[in-house]
Structure 1
Amino acid sequence: MARRTRRRWNHNIHYHPRILQAVPRGAERALDIGCGEGMLTRELRDVVPQVTGIDLDTPSLELARASSDDIEYVEGDFLQHPFEPASYDVIASVATLHHVDARTGLLRMRDLLRPGGALVVVGVARANLPRDLPWELAGIAANWTHRATKGYWQHPSPTVWPPPVTFPEMQTLSAEVLPTSTYRRHLFFRYSITWTKPS
């Protein structure tokens, strides 16, 4: 399943298995929001028959399309692109939500998901120091350990720093916009939101 990324590691790739494990049984269509060069998109294609990746960055999409997989890559803004509402069984987004207004982004993802479908967001948020210092120190230690054993692959896609929303703000927002969702704080300066849309 992860054969294409085995030689690469970074903070985002580390959480790809979490997304793949959340794919509902029998899922037919998947959307990767902020797909970049398509690493997660191709992994989703291993388990979902029809996969679309969308991103605004032209050079990253050129790398994705060079893989010659039967994946649809869309250059555009997922907030504005005319996707059909409630048309995806699984929607994934990694390190993308902080590039847009978080509430607007979550609402858009919610609307594009079919009833019974799964949404998995792995995001970046801003630490509140000194309260978050233990998390930051643990993340730094884990980061250096993993870099020493796995190396670190720097993705070519644009970055936004610092993130505009804090970890507690994202937790509160996810509970408001996606009731019954599960929010988790992770090492490597990430959080995840997992939600199944009510049928």
Structure 2
Amino acid sequence: MTSLLPRLLPALDRFNAAHPWDHNAHFHPWILRQLPRRFGSALDVGSGSGDLVRLLATRAVTVHGVDADPAIVALARELTPAANTTGVTFTVADAPSGIPGGSYDVITCVAVLHHLPLADALAAFRDHLAPGGTLVVVGLARQQTPVDHLLAAVSAPLNAATGWLKNRGRTSPAPRPLAMTAVTRPADTGFPTLVREARRILPGARLRRRLFWRYTLVWRQRPHGDGDVRM
């Protein structure tokens, strides 16, 4: 069995490359389920090509996307029709220091937090979240514990099966390079550390390991400033 692994893993990589799918977009419907039906303002940190921003715009009055990559911000603007998405803006900025001032009813951050200084980013999200607002993070953590490795082992065949189904069994070209710029570095912080730091800065935050090498964090700012959970 062990001797099969060196041949099996490259074959699985080739299969996944031929049947690609967007792991982050997979969580977009789940993100929307954590949010109110309507809200005033939203901020998406690390907005990439703007897919989540455009979804948030179906519920929000204004949505602001920030990303450090000028090329992908330009792509997001190109892909966002002004006639159908009034109130949507994109800005080139480094997070957390470059987060636009003011407060937001919703803040989202997908597959970006592991690129940022963890404590500073979480504190900035907290400080920019309006009373009663909701923070939703989908992130990547370093595999350290037996549970991490078990979920990764389960995710591997499910990833291949999902790619096969989403592509209807056909091979598909890989996503354009610009859409992949957000995933440039593996996570170096383990999930237990993430939980401790998040709950220190965001009391009451709920974090869960997920399939497909992701975790989720949900936190709601109470009107008096304390944290509570909205699931």
TM-score, scaled relative to structure 2: 0.77
Match among 180, 187, 194 for residue 218 of structure 2: 194
Deviation digits for residues 62-93 of structure 1 (CA, Å, limit 9, x no counterpart):
111012333110101132226224x1000000
1:83 maps onto 2:107 in alignment: no
Q: Which structure 1 segments of 5+ residues have no match?
A: 1-7
Q: What is the Cα deviation at residue 34 of structure 1?
A: 0.2
Structure 2 partner of 1:72: 89
Whether 2:58 is the aligned partner of 1:34: answer no
**Which segment is superposed worse, 155-164 or 94-103?**
155-164
Counterparts of 1:32 and 1:160, CA distance in 2: 19
State the 1:45 CA deviation: 0.3
Report how far residue 119 of structure 1 moved. Answer: 0.2
CA gap of 1:131–1:25, structure 2 versus 1, over 3 A, is closer
Q: Match for residue 3 of structure 1?
A: none
Deviates more, 1:109-118 or 1:23-32: 23-32
The 5-angstrom pairing of residues 111-190 of structure 1 reads 111-128=127-144, 130=146, 132-151=148-167, 154=175, 155-190=179-214
TM-score by length of 1: 0.89
Amino acid at match of 2:148: D
Q: Is the 8 A contact 2:44 2:66 kept in 1?
A: yes
The CA RMSD over aligned residues, in Å, is: 1.8
Contact 1:89 1:113 in 2 (8 A): yes
| Larger Rg over CA atoms | 2
Percent identity reads 35
- Tell me, yes or no, if the aligned pair for 1:79 and 1:105 is still in contact at 8 Å: yes
Q: Which ranges in structure 2 are unaligned for 5 or more consecutive residues?
A: 1-19, 224-231
Q: In proportion to residue count, which structure has more helix?
A: 2
Over 3 Å counting, the alpha-carbon distance change for 1:135 and 1:124 in structure 2 is: same
1:15 equivalent to 2:31? Answer no
Q: How many residues align?
A: 191
Amino acid in structure 2 at the alignment position of 1:180? G
Equivalent position amino acid for 1:79 in 2: P
CA distance, structure 2, for counterparts of residue 187 and residue 131 of structure 1: 11
Structure 1 stretches of at least 4 aligned residues deviating more than 4 Å after TM superposition: none
Instruction: Please list the CA deviations of residues 35-81 of structure 1 after superposition, one character each: whole Å capped at 9, or x if unmatched.
Output: 00000000000111100000011111111101233311010113222
Please, which moves more after superposition, 111-120 or 174-183?
A: 174-183
Q: Is the 8 A contact 2:205 2:217 kept in 1?
A: yes
Between the aligned partners of 2:68 and 2:183, the Cα distance in structure 1 is 12
1:190 & 1:109 partners in 2: Cα distance?
19
- Asked if structure 2 preserves the Cα contact closer than 8 Å seen for 1:32 and 1:53, the reply is yes
